[in-house]
Structure 1
Amino acid sequence: MSGSEVAGLAAARRPRVTEVEQHGIDTIPAAERTSRPFDLFRIQFGGANTFATVILGTFPVLLGLSLVEAVAATVTGVVVGALILMPMGLFGPRTGTNNAVSSGAHFGVRGRVLGSFLSLLTAISFYSISVWVSGDALVGAATRLFGTGDSDLLRGVVYAVLGALVILVVVYGYQLMLLVNKVVVLANTALMLLGLVAYASLVDLGYDPGPDAYALGSFWPTFVLSALIVMGNPISFGAFLGDWSRYIPADTPPPRLLTATFLGQLATLVPFLFGVGTATLVAGEVDYVVALIQVSPLWYAVLLMVVAFLGGMSTGVTSLYGTGLDFSSVFPRLNRVQASLVIGTLAFVFILVGRLVFDLLASVNAFIGAIVICTTPWMIIMMIGYWVRRGYYSAADVQVFNQGRVGGRYWASGGFNWRGMAAWIPAAVVGLLFANYPPLIEGPLRDAAGGVDVSLPMSIGLAAVVYLALLFAFPEPRYVFAPAGPRFVPAADAPLPPVTDDPRASVHRSARRTPPESTQEPLPR
């Protein structure tokens, strides 16, 4: 069959944007993997090219850094976070499912619920941030343009409309989400670049509030905290990259996937630096979004409403989509659509409580800290596991728990691989002990390095050392590795547990069996 014929068949199989996606976390058949690494780039950039990212970009200035220092902290956070994130795009094409389910290969098919929890934490955080700041921008613009006034009721109504539209896109699924992000990549980039014109006469390139403004008392602790908050954005994609990369063919060269992820995150410097620059214009104001609307030229205030709406849709959709997938596998009575509705409703309640009752700055700071500390060691364990196994995975066996069965390559001990869990738990705990995300996360050891937050290197280092030590001390069975054998670590001989039906499992799971076409294992590289 010629290349044009193959391309024609792939196009014919691509679902229409208006079709409700039928796949949950089941393996995507090869014939339906019609996406490219460029789509992975576009979804990441589109999902982050929003006011939610702009808000994160304001934190270095809000914490007391000068403009130059804030730019340096922002670039550092984005680049380091992107380097850590890059390998997480490799799992989806190999397993045909999302990263939480793929993590079952290293945490056990039941232990993968840890990944589902981390994705839930991330989804609620970024869905909430996106609706909060986008809603506030719309309210601020309406107040200035139409004199509507500001009130909790008006904000609640705007939040509800934005939240409902996000859930609607999530219900339709991947193809509509891809379209939304295509629009956002172009539209929001153009609108933010127009900000260079709008604020050219207002920005003070020498902005420096002085050393007394440092939130943590001195430069380095404040600089590191700022970089970690920025880093939370790329790290937050770790649990979600597989949601989108699973639609990419299994034989896609890894360098293309790594490059797409790194460039996708590097492109987010557009909204980040927009936030850094504009934060200097309204420094000291309680509400950044509303204050920015007030100092903007009238023509750009109108455009900010467009940026806010498109951005809220994009970030909210990319955050909520993957968690709906995961939730439906953990609670098998719910399909993807039902699970998305449940999670969306819970997240909306959190939005109202968090925005109208608690301090937004403290809430964002705490959730970003929790995401960085808890998700990064999970990612490190996944990456080490990928490397020692030479990228070899059984697409069928990672689905065992989701289908109400037991056994297979990744069953380990009752569905839990204690090696991965035993490495993650102390890494996350130690990270929290050293963390310094005031005022809600302040670990008892936060001053161990002179006030500099060392929670990330501590959690990364501990996760890597403990996991590798356990792989050496307690070798995994040979059947989990590629035919060429493990890389660097030893393997143990053991019989492969047969896959059988679990009599305790729900009939709803057994109805979701992976079709034979989709159980083909990708060839190891």
Structure 2
Amino acid sequence: MNIQHSESSVTEKPPSVTQVETHGVERIPDADRTARPFDLFRLAFGGANTFSTCVLGAFPILFGLSFLQGLAAMLLGLVVGALLLAPMAVFGPRNGTNNAVSSSAHLGVHGRVVGSFLSLLTAVAFFSLSVWSSGDALIGGAHRMFGLPESDAAYAVAYAVFAVLVLAVCVYGFRFMLLVNKIAVVAATLLFVLGLFAFAGDFDASYAGIFTAGADAATQELFWPSFIGAALIVLSNPVSFGAFLGDWARYIPASTPHRKVMGAAFLSQIATVLPFGFGLTTAAIIAERAPEYLDPAAPNFVGGLLAVSPSWYFLPVCLIALIGGMSTGTTALYGTGLDFSSVFPRLSRVRATVLVGVLSIVFIFVGRFGFNLVQAISTFATMIITCTVPWMIVMMLGWVTRRGWYDPDALQVFTRRQRGGRYWFAHGWNWRGMAAWWTGAVTGVLFTNIPGQFVGPLGDLAGGADISLPLGAAVAGVLHLVLLRVFPEPREVFGPAGPRWVGAADTPVAPITEADGTPALVPAG
């Protein structure tokens, strides 16, 4: 097995996809940064152009909206989510590392573990949801086509195959994952387009939902909470990539214009109108032809899809499940293994990836067959997003106030187990960013309102509407700017042009040293 060495200074051509990537979260050498914004587009779109995204697209219909109302909610959530996500793409090319490490500049070199654990929880949750939904679709389709029994053993085999394949791709690393997603993007897109022909004869855009002119007053009062809730569920999908964009964008050269990198991230999510639209359209058909599958108490979108699909489309459904499981799983699991290798330095990227993958697989099986935690994990994933958005806001405002200037060497202090540097702040913690993130996250959790699953202590104050994400983001943003103005950061964390919107304090910055206090072996800069 070939090994790609991280110390190489000259690269004649991109490494082979069969070489195991050994780069951790250290800054990627310029010679190895050969990816393009289009590669970022393919990875981010491939990770979302999946069956689990179709399931999210069905939620507007599950909430009782008409097709046109659901379409409006879907487009609103998708555009706002893509706009929130796009700025998170610029940190990777600028710093050559992932977003958790980049967050050291705003949360402190120890505070960066917030991003690490948010990405870990997000990866486990969305990896599990992807494997469960894809495995269910695969077994359901095989049952319809070949009479395969829908037994626990069959589901276990499907989950195991998905999980092991995903883990193998993640172990090989970035370039092999990029190859898989190149194939997945094209294949899944063609299969979704084929679905247009499969359901064209059954689709009716006039599906009315429950909020009709003749609905009673109590039902009508639920319209806006349902509309906002559906939009937020769609929005959560692009936002879930916020912690991971740097994992892939770090291979893009630093000289790449920001507008191209942000544009790739934005368009990758706008393109998911395809799987979202597939889910919305088929859910409307299911609601008319097989409404028992959309019972709010126990919805079964996969079963309903198979019930209304023509028999010739069963195989494409299985292929979408297989391809989608690979795409979502690799994009979620790869970054977490990468980042955990820096949190626990004794673990290489490969070992950390295997460890996180094995734990995720155990979690999948225990949750699915031991405790039936699928619905609970859906709630868990939503709560993670509620906590991730304030973290993203702190990062974005930090970029603006710093004018996009960073010290890549000082960002790596935690990874090298050193002390000091521009981002040491108070013993490795920047309490300004931490306080803004924590307050925004707690506010979001308090105002969360997921009907039938979780309602926070203040979740009913907005008439039943879930305002957790916008409120948490607003609180984090306003508080962060206030704290930066009232308690300015050291002047040395800003570039030659100085701060924007906020002041700077003439606070001395400790030099980078080893853990025992001796001068750093790696020179600054």
Match in the other structure for 1:243: 247
Counterpart pick for 1:230 among 234, 254, 275: 234
1:166 and 1:379 mapped to 2: Cα distance?
27
Q: Which residue of 1 aligns with 2:179?
A: 179
The alpha-carbon deviation at position 441 of structure 1 amounts to 2.4
1:264 partnered with 2:275: no
String of CA shifts for 1:359-396, please: whole Å, max 9, x gaps: 66633541332133101110001000000101001111
Spell out, residue by residue over 1:484-516, the C-alpha distance to the aligned partner (whole angstroms, 9 max, x if none): 1111111111333111111499xxxx9xx97x8
Choose which of 336, 350, 366 in structure 2 pairs with 1:337. Answer: 350
Which position in structure 2 is the counterpart of 1:254? 258
Separation in structure 2 between the aligned mates of residue 309 and residue 38 of structure 1, nearest angstrom: 24
Q: Which residue in 1 is equivalent to 2:38? A: 38
Partner of 1:4: none
**Aligned CA-pair RMSD:** 2.1
| 1:368 aligned residue | 381
> Is the alpha carbon distance of 1:335 and 1:73 closer, same or farther for their aligned partners in structure 2, counting shifts above 3 Å?
same
Matched, 1:377 2:390: yes
Pick from 310, 327, 330 the counterpart of residue 323 of structure 2. 310
Write the deviation string for residues 107-165 of structure 1: whole angstroms up to 9, x where unpaired.
00110000011101211121111111111111011111111110112101110111000
Q: How far did 1:328 drift?
A: 1.1
Q: Does 1:411 align with 2:420?
A: no
Of 449, 455, 458, which aligns to 2:471? 458
The 8 Å contact of residues 11 and 32 in structure 2, kept in 1 or not, is answered as no
**1:281: Cα distance to partner?**
2.7
Shift of the 161–41 alpha-carbon distance from structure 1 to 2, 3 Å rule, reads same
TM-score by length of 2: 0.92
* 2: CA distance, partners of 1:437 / 1:115: 24
State how far apart, in whole Å, the 2-side matches of 1:148 and 1:108 are.
54
One-letter identity of the residue aligned with 2:18: T
Q: Which residue of 2 aligns with 1:390?
A: 403
Deviations 1:442-473 (A, max 9, x none): 11111212111221221111111111111111
Q: Structure 1 residues 216 and 45 mapped into 2: Cα distance closer, same or farther (>3 Å)?
A: farther
The question of 1:165 aligning with 2:165 is answered yes
Give 1:331 deviation, angstroms: 1.4
Paired position in structure 1 for 2:481 = 468
Q: Which residue of 2 aligns with 1:291?
A: 304
Q: Is this contact kept in 2: 1:362–1:438, CA < 8 A?
A: no
**Unmatched 5+ residue regions in structure 1?**
1-8, 521-525
Match of 1:492 among 505, 515, 518: 505
Give the residue type in structure 2 aligned to 1:218.
L
Mind listing any 5+ residue stretches in structure 2 that lack a counterpart? 1-8, 294-298
d(CA) in 2 for partners of 1:217, 1:349? 43
TM-score, normalisation: structure 1: 0.92
Q: Contact 2:368–2:374 (CA<8 Å) still a contact in 1?
A: no
Paired amino acid for 1:372:
I
Paired amino acid for 2:248 = W
SS of residue paired to 1:12: coil
Deviations 1:176-218 (A, max 9, x none): 1101111111111111011000011122222223237999961
2-structure distance, mates of 1:59, 1:216: 18
Paired residue secondary structure (1:411): coil
From the superposition, tell whether residues 415 and 137 of structure 1 become closer, same or farther in structure 2 (CA, over 3 Å).
same
Match of 1:126 in 2: 126
Cα distance in 1 for residues equivalent to 2:516 and 2:321: 50
1:227-250 Cα offsets, whole Å, 9 max, x none, are 111111110010000001100011
Matched, 1:448 2:461: yes
Q: Distance in 1 between matches of 2:87 and 2:283?
A: 33
CA distance in 2: counterparts of 1:64 and 1:361, whole angstroms: 22
Flag the 1:231–1:217 CA change in 2: closer, same or farther, 3 A. Answer: same
Instruction: Quickly say closer, same or farther: Cα 1:406–1:279, change in 2 above 3 A.
Output: same
- Matching of residue 72 in structure 1 with residue 72 in structure 2: yes
Take 1:438 and 1:101, find their aligned partners in 2: how far apart are those partners?
Answer: 36
Give the corresponding residue for 1:274: 278
CA distance in 2, matches of 1:456, 1:48: 20
Match of 2:94 in 1: 94
Give yes or no for contact 1:89–1:241 (8 Å, CA) kept in 2.
yes
Give the letter aligned to residue 77 of structure 2.
G
Question: In the alignment, is the contact (CA less than 8 A) between 1:141 and 1:290 conserved in 2?
Answer: no
For 2:101 and 2:325, how far apart are their aligned partners in 1?
Answer: 27
CA distance in 1 between partners of 2:459 and 2:511 (Å): 48
Is contact 2:338–2:352 with CA below 8 Å preserved after alignment? Answer: yes
CA contact (8 A) 1:32 1:247 kept: yes
8 A Cα contact 2:126 2:381, kept in partner: no
Partner amino acid, structure 1, of 2:375: A
Q: Give 2:192's aligned residue.
A: 192
SS state of the match for residue 281, structure 1? helix
**Deviation sequence 1:255-294 (CA, Å, 0-9, x none):** 1111111111100111011011111233331422133223
Tell which deviates more after alignment, 290-299 or 59-68.
290-299
In the alignment, what sits opposite 2:445? 432
CA contact (8 A) 1:400 1:407 kept: yes
User: Is the Cα–Cα contact under 8 Å of residues 13 and 31 in structure 1 kept in the other structure?
Assistant: no
User: Is 1:42–1:182's contact at 8 Å kept on the other side of the alignment?
Assistant: yes
Q: Distance in 2 between matches of 1:365 and 1:139?
A: 21
CA 1:223–1:13 in structure 2 vs 1: closer, same or farther (change >3 Å)?
same
Q: Name the counterpart of 2:341.
A: 328
Paired amino acid for 2:439: P
Q: Match for residue 23 of structure 1?
A: 23
Shift of the 81–359 alpha-carbon distance from structure 1 to 2, 3 Å rule, reads: farther
8 Å contact from structure 1 (residues 365, 437) kept in 2:
no
Partner of 1:3: none
Does the 8 Å contact 1:198/1:297 carry over to 2? yes
Between stretches 19-28 and 435-444, larger displacement belongs to: 435-444
